[in-house]
Structure 1
Amino acid sequence: MERLVIDTGDTAFMLISMVFVMIMTPALALFYGGMVRAKNVLNTIMQCLAAIGIISVQWVLFGYSLSFGPDVNHIIGNFDWSLFTGVGMLPEEAYSATIPHMLFALFQMMFAIITAGIITGAFVERMRFGAFLIFIALWTTLVYDPVAHWVWGVDGWLRNEGVLDFAGGTVIHILSGISGLVAAMLIGKRAGYGRTAMIPHNIPMVVIGMAFLWLGWFGFNGGSAFAANGLAAHAMVTTQVAAATGMLGWMLSESMLAGKATTLGAASGAIAGLVAITPGAGFVPVWTALPIGFIGGIICYTSVAHIKTKLGYDDSLDAFGIHGVGGLWGAIATGLFASTAVNEAGADGLFFGNPMQLWIQVEGIVYCALYGIVVTAIIVLAMKACMRVRADEGEQIVGMDALEHGERGYAYMDSLGALSFSKPIDAPQYTTASAKDAKRLAMTE
């Protein structure tokens, strides 16, 4: 058997791409952190930071092996690569013919981490931190790892069916968005939702987070070519175009339906466009990124501004409205616009003479979404039966930062009359029955 040789150019490119994707999770922490109320900013950031720690360890222990290890019945990987046994410095032909196997595994670790971060946006400001740590470890193991194997793992059943997902539209965005919505609905709405204004406390922080997410997305999509080649460049171009048109689509919709285009809307629209192009970035022609991003911005705005309001669910930071809906549109758009002229390893879509690819994409969406819904519901319901998952009304009024971490995001909060806590709050007086007392301790919303 001929020994595979490492390509130093590909390896250097993938090392940089991996770092870019790593940056995306702290960037997401800023993006989400600016969107919550000031009393919850640190808890929101902490959930993303904790995801880095938990998923990094889980991935080395067994997560990578379950996701990409030798196949078991087309459903899951086995434990051969647990503890990175056999994941060395030489290439693995099935996944990384020109780069070290461990670099491929590390790149995929960053994908698992950002997925765990995305899902937090659905239930921040009301989930207890300890419960979150348990939930995200279980969810990654029981939901993300199997679906990643289905779609990306060698001999995974959806991969064998021909489902196309270049960089995670189905595995990452649809899965995290729909699972986050299920978790949010089962945990319950935030205290005062629909009665109290819950506006972002720091829009500049949101924009900074968006900027670094946009930057990281070049590594996210471009790196999914796994080589420093023309396909990587192509994926980066479609990424830029879709982000720009996603922003424009959201701004136009907001201007026409709400009267003004907002900075928060422009940032959200860019993310919507990025999500929409992710599954097809390396499969669709550049010109198709224009409608993919633009339509993505419009439908995500509609989902966030109108559908959520009508249905009344509390998706705190629109994880479902942007990632779930945007990922769904992107997966369908891949079935419409994919072309083997762009990527011979892909397939032609409906508009290039192969209507069956659209059906295959829908099949992938349905199976992954249903699996995410059912297993996420089981996890949350089991946790609720064993522990307290939701912070009660009084605790939410005080704020998750003081309650869970004993700190405040901003010094001025103490000067406004809020208490400075040296230890995390976990006392009987912060219960629903004492909500009025808690209000006197908390800063204004």
Structure 2
Amino acid sequence: MDMDIATLSKGLDTIWVVLTAAMILLMEGGFALLEAGFVRQKNAVSIIMKVFVDITFGALIFYFFGFGLMHGKDAGGLIGTTGFMLSGDLSNIHLNISHDTFWLFQCAFVIAVISIVSGAVAERIHFRAYILYTIAMTGMIYPLAGHWVWSTGGWLQKLGMIDFAGSAVIHALGGFSALAAAIFIGPRIGKFTADGKSNIVPPSNLPLASVGAFILWFGWFGFNSGSTLSATNGSIGHIAVTTMLSASAGGAACILFTMFRYKKADPPMVINGSLAGLVGITAGCSFVSDGAAIFIGVLCGIAMVLATEILESKGVDDPVGAFAVHGISGSLGTLTVGLFAKPELTASIGKGYYGLLYGGGWNLLGIQALGLVVIGIWGFALTWIALKLIKLIMPVRVSKDEELIGLDVGIHGVPAYNQDHDFLDLETMKRENNR
């Protein structure tokens, strides 16, 4: 009878993790629609192609190299040494699911990380260079940071850092990597005037971007609740509630804040505000109260608006707000765990620390801050180095003509919408995209 219960438990956990992994993979459709809606029409196909690079190359590289570096047997708290191609000794992974199932869930995470960067370099990065950067991110940059926090023996994990589903490991890392890439590659042609004033580049399709945001919101329930890695974990419902509340608070805060600041509710900001709330709650979704989740969402939503303004004032071009949404909100979400983590909720993971506002002292907040700084610097520096090395091999940025024509035609040779032409030569496509 005990064996039957154990088998049933393992089966339920396997189904739960596979389904939530699929929900996270569906988020790539959300990324594609969101970014295609935010960029100009002449670059919609290029966004879709980058998402396909994320999924295809990302999954393969994570299988061959990334997973082993991230979750293999620890060496010095810094790196995994087994588990490449899911082979070798993985006895350090103690879960009620198979290694294959665990890999699938982790693969969905790594694909999300690289997709964060794709938006920051939209409309100007060269496709071949992006492929090489995807290999660097999924094969080394993300796996090593993930090992430090999530793998048994990782040095930040041993210190007691809490990052339930990745505000730091995924979003802050991806956000600071996106910032480095955006600075390295430079702004789009015409984005800033000679005196540094920012020109507005209107989104091509806000309804499309909105649908993308809703798909991301849906997938986030898999992102956060699925990180229990168990269908019988009693915190699944609470995680889903805090996720919903923070996302809603982030969007509501942006509606009110932009009405006050700009005299009208700003649709792109509202879209990103809900996403900011989702990013912010990801670290502490299992460990904070409903009220704290609402506060985190409001904080991240308003901070995202201000960060977007500051970034533009500094001449940094981030077409979809990747750094403001993921870098800033991921940072705030990581730090707020050190404030709001409840003793009765963190006790279940045996860290021994809880939030400052619950009498836990400065220990957890200090650890969270240390981990955030390390991960932010790691993502920024390694992205910069990776792009520098790639530039030695090939151009990182497309040519001026390709950028003006649009990457859809200039790089991929096809427009997003054929406008009912039966046949279209290259010169005609160029004229259509320059109208």
Structure 2 CA distance for aligned equivalents of residues 363 and 441 of structure 1 = 51
Who is 2:393 aligned against? 386
| 1:280-319 equivalent positions in 2, closer than 5 A | 280-304=284-308, 306-319=309-322
Deviation of the 1:94 alpha carbon: 4.8
Cα RMSD of the aligned pairs, angstroms, is 2.3
In the other structure, the counterpart of 1:433 is none
User: Aligned equivalents of 1:55 and 1:96: distance in 2?
Assistant: 25
State the 1:267 CA deviation.
Answer: 1.6
- Aligned-pair CA distance for 1:16: 1.3
8 Å contact kept, 1:300–1:325 = yes
Q: Which residue of 278, 289, 303 corresponds with 1:274?
A: 278
Distance apart, 1:441 and its partner CA: 6.3
Q: 1:179 aligns to what?
A: 177
- For residue 70 of structure 1, the aligned residue among 59, 65, 73 is 73
Matches within 5 A, 1:125-144: 125-144=123-142
State the match for 1:106 in structure 2. Answer: 104
- Residues 420/38 of structure 1: CA separation in 2 closer, same or farther (3 Å cut): farther
Residue 61 (structure 1) shift = 0.9
User: Aligned partners of 2:223 and 2:427: how far apart in 1?
Assistant: 39
Deviation digits for residues 301-346 of structure 1 (CA, Å, limit 9, x no counterpart): 1111x21222111112111011000101100111111123123215
Q: How does 1:3-402 map to 2 (within 5 A)?
A: 7-78=10-81, 80-86=82-88, 94-195=92-193, 197-228=200-231, 229-304=233-308, 306-344=309-347, 345=349, 346=351, 347-354=353-360, 355-402=362-409
CA shift, 1:197, in A, is 4.0
Structure 1 position 93, deviation (Å): 7.0
Between the aligned partners of 2:420 and 2:92, the Cα distance in structure 1 is 54
Partners of 2:284 and 2:337 within 8 A in 1: yes
2:207 & 2:120 partners in 1: Cα distance? 21
Per-residue displacement from partner, 1:95-127 (whole Å, max 9, x unpaired)?
452222211111011000011111111111000
Shift of 1:9: 2.1
Residue type of the partner of 1:43? S
- Structure 2: how far apart are the matches of 1:187 and 1:263? 27
Structure 2: gaps of 5 or more residues: 194-198
Contact 2:21–2:222 (8 Å) recurs in 1: yes
SS at match of 1:121: helix
Structure 2 CA distance for aligned equivalents of residues 197 and 310 of structure 1:
13
Task: Give 1:414 deviation, angstroms.
Answer: 6.6
Counterparts of residues 416-431 of structure 1 (less than 5 Å): 420-421=425-426
Q: Distance in 1 between matches of 2:93 and 2:268?
A: 39
Give, in whole Å, the separation in 2 of the partners of 1:83 and 1:227.
Answer: 24
Q: Name the amino acid aligned to 1:392.
A: S
The CA deviation string for residues 353-372 of structure 1, in whole angstroms up to 9 with x for no partner, is 12211111000011111111
TM-score (norm 1): 0.90
Q: Which residue of 1 aligns with 2:411?
A: 404
Distance 2:140 2:408 in 1: 29
Q: If the length of structure 2 is used for normalisation, what is the TM-score?
A: 0.92
Q: CA deviation at 1:70?
A: 0.4
Instruction: Write out per-residue CA displacement over residues 179-222 of structure 1, whole angstroms, 9 at most, x where no aligned residue.
Output: 11111111111111125542110111111111110000000000
CA shift digits 1:154-187 (9 cap, x unpaired): 1001111111100011111011111111111111
Q: Give the Cα separation in 2 of the matches to 1:20 and 1:241.
A: 19
Using the alignment, how far apart are the partners of 1:301 and 1:222 within structure 2?
A: 27
Encode CA deviations 1:120-140: one digit per residue, 9 max, x unaligned.
Answer: 111110001011001111122
Name the amino acid aligned to 1:367.
V
Secondary structure of residue in 1 paired with 2:116: helix
Check conservation: 2:120, 2:320, Cα contact below 8 A: yes
SS of the residue 1:184 aligns to = helix
**Shift of residue 420, structure 1, vs aligned partner:** 4.2
1:271 partner SS:
helix
| 1:69-111 alpha-carbon deviations (Å, 9 max, x no partner) | 0011110101x21111158xxxx77545222221111101100
Once residues 420 and 38 of structure 2 are traced to their aligned partners in structure 1, the CA distance between those partners, rounded to angstroms, is 17
Return closer, same or farther for 1:340/1:101 CA change in 2, 3 Å cut-off.
Answer: farther
Deviation at residue 375 of structure 1 after TM alignment? 1.3
